[in-house]
Amino acid sequence: MKFTDIPSLGMPPGPLTVWRTSAAPGAVWTRDARPASHVQEAHLTYALATAGEGPPAPSWLGIAFDLPAGLDPDAFAAALCAWTDRHENLRSRLLPPAASGPPLRETLPAGATAVRGTEVGDFADGAELARRIEELFDREAGPVGWPGFVCATVARADATTVHLAADHSLMDGYSVLLIPYEIHALYAAALAAGKGAVSPLPPVASYLDFAAAERATVDALTSEHEVVVQWCRFLAETGGRLPEFPVPVNDVSGDPGAQPGGYLELLGPAAARAFDRVCRAGGGDAFSGVLACLARVGHEMTDEQAFSTMAPFHTRTEPYGSSLGWYVGMAPISFPLHASDFFEDVLHSAVSGLEGVKELARVPVSRVTELLGATLRDPFMISYMDLRLTPGAREWHGRRTVTLRGRSTDPDEVCFWFMRTHEGLSVSYRHPATAAADIAVRHYVEHVRRLLEAVADTGRWPSDSLQEAQPPAPVV
């Protein structure tokens, strides 16, 4: 499982069909009193504020996976309609406010959408096909306008590959990973509908209810709340800035290019299980163990006596486990380390650094900035997801499932997505389009892999890690 840009898929050519969702004839949008979540409002506000500054920056998340060959178009359209019926968030739209104020929400009832497939053409060149799908996603899976998601299928002799993307305001990274399981189940049910089949999926809670409840809670907070106080302490220690990648990699040209990225398999299934055991025996878990390895590499690159980063944490509670939405909050992580520390020492420090951060993440950063009167950017992010219990996870490999993302031209941001699946532990990453970033980030992940392998094998750092930590200088 990896995050990737569409052109890196090595996409085989084939006939392309685009599937668009619309309001069914006679459907009526109803004013909905439930507000946008803080992250939705901040996302939409930014999109509207920058609308006149050129093409909007892509903000979609997507996924590609296989269905059986010989797609039944009526059954697939029915599956997509059932999917939008299942998730109220997909049937709701946010309208820009008429004056200063929050966005307005309107929602369609279940059963009020229609799906139509349009054949675009038979592409003989895989790169051209990938470009067309990426352009489709950039154009139609955005934060302004409804539905904000779009689907495309490519017919092949052995399978039908589904590509589906939605704006981030509609779903987070975990939501995207629920899509293959649900579409497979709903498509199978639609195929069997003539035999009296019904949807095999149970009802799911609505993100709109979550957003309303979260909004009522966090809007009542004041600057004296403990979460805001902890943010103040963290920012006081960092000079009012959020953490940056250990070495300078930012693009100072004023005209940054599209961020490149990469993917690396870090540990196979057996080694990942061994790493889990070492971390548990040391009083931590796999995430704190990964952070310990990242901190060690950062220390060896810079001799800094502390490791700091931003990390996303899910904010889902039990009713919303299978709901599509943006259930993610960001929180800072920071902990000390020293050159003489053993792995277990840094693991304990990482565990301490993680204490309480999930509670910080339950307050959206946009609300924190309101209360602090500050502007914050998070240029260095570490995400860790254990995805083994995700519905359909064991079928991802056989269904050639790949997560997708829109391109970024951010001049500063360095992001890592560590993913634990049944196939082991892997990392996807992206970074500014600079020579320094290309060298430093690739070296960073390669050295992290060496540390992970050594810890999984021996429970210790490799004896030569210090000597190999410094990245080579970029060629000017």
CA of 431: how far to CAs of 5, 297, 305, 425, 456, in Å? 13, 17, 24, 20, 27
Q: Per-residue pLDDT for 471 more than 50?
A: no
Return the pLDDT at 4: 65
How large is the C-alpha radius of gyration of the chain? Answer: 23
Return the pLDDT at 468: 44
Which of 398, 330, 322 is closest to 359 using CA atoms?
330
Say what angle helices 435-458 and 286-302 make with each other, to 10 degrees. Answer: 130
The pLDDT tens digits for 102-125 are 999 999 999 999 999 999 999 999
The pLDDT tens digits for 41-52 are 999 999 998 887
The pLDDT tens digits for 224-250 are 999 999 999 999 988 899 999 999 999
User: Is residue 61 packed enough to be buried (19+ CB in 10 Å), middle (13-18) or exposed (0-12)?
Assistant: buried
Return the pLDDT at 453: 98
Alpha-carbon distance of 274 to 252, in angstroms, equals 42
440 Ramachandran zone, left/alpha/beta (phi>0; psi -120 to 50):
alpha
The pLDDT tens digits for 55-80 are 888 999 999 999 999 999 999 999 99
Return the pLDDT at 100: 77
Phi then psi dihedrals of residue 88, to 5 deg: -60, -30
Alpha-carbon distance of 42 to 169, in angstroms, equals 10
Return the pLDDT at 54: 77
CA of 368: how far to CAs of 211, 227, 231, 244, in Å? 17, 9, 8, 19
Q: Give the DSSP per-residue string, 365-383.
A: HHHHHHHHT------EEEE
Edge-to-edge order in the sheet of strand 149-155: 3-4, 402-405, 60-67, 160-167, 149-155, 14-23, 113-123
Q: Per-residue pLDDT for 355 more than 60?
A: yes
Residue type, 372: L
Return the pLDDT at 2: 62
Residues 174-190 have a mean pLDDT of 97
Return the pLDDT at 131: 92
CB distance 120 to 16 below 8 Å: yes
Written in H, E and C, the secondary structure of 26-50 is CCCCEEECCCCCHHHHHHHHHHHHC
Range with the lowest mean pLDDT among 268-272, 319-323, 415-419, 469-473?
Answer: 469-473
Return the pLDDT at 8: 57
Alpha-carbon distance of 81 to 186, in angstroms, equals 9
Split at pLDDT 50, 70, 90, the class of 473 is: very low
Residues 418-423 have a mean pLDDT of 97
Q: Per-residue pLDDT for 81 more than 70?
A: yes
Return the pLDDT at 193: 86
The pLDDT tens digits for 183-210 are 999 999 999 987 667 789 999 999 999 9
Alpha-carbon distance of 170 to 326, in angstroms, equals 6
pTM (global) more than 0.75: yes
* Residue bearing tokens 């389009």: 433
Of 11 and 450, more confident: 450
Q: Per-residue pLDDT for 440 more than 70?
A: yes
The pLDDT tens digits for 27-42 are 999 999 999 999 999 9
CA of 317: how far to CAs of 15, 298, 327, in Å? 41, 34, 9
Split at pLDDT 50, 70, 90, the class of 472 is: very low
Q: Give the DSSP per-residue string, 191-242.
A: HTGGGT----SPP---HHHHHHHHHHHHTT--TTSHHHHHHHHHHHHTTT--
The pLDDT tens digits for 265-294 are 999 999 999 999 999 999 999 999 999 999
Q: Per-residue pLDDT for 470 more than 60?
A: no
Which of 441, 432, 168, 210 is closest to 322 using CA atoms?
210
Alpha-carbon distance of 142 to 155, in angstroms, equals 26
CB distance 278 to 460 below 8 Å: no
Percent of the chain with pLDDT over 90: 86
Which of 163, 189, 182, 190 is closest to 73 using CA atoms?
190
Q: Per-residue pLDDT for 431 more than 70?
A: yes
Split at pLDDT 50, 70, 90, the class of 97 is: confident
According to DSSP, residue 352 is labeled: H
Buried-state track 427-436, b at ≥16 Cβ within 10 A, e below 16 = bbbbbbbbeb
Residue type, 347: L
Return the pLDDT at 469: 44
CB distance 324 to 175 below 8 Å: yes
Q: Per-residue pLDDT for 476 more than 50?
A: no
Alpha-carbon distance of 60 to 180, in angstroms, equals 17
Share the mean pLDDT of the chain: 93
The pLDDT tens digits for 358-417 are 999 999 999 999 999 888 889 999 999 999 999 999 999 999 999 999 999 999 999 999
* Residue bearing tokens 């930014």: 46
- Spatial CB neighbours of 60, under 8 Å, sequence gap ≥ 6: 137, 138, 141, 142, 165, 166, 167, 168, 405, 406
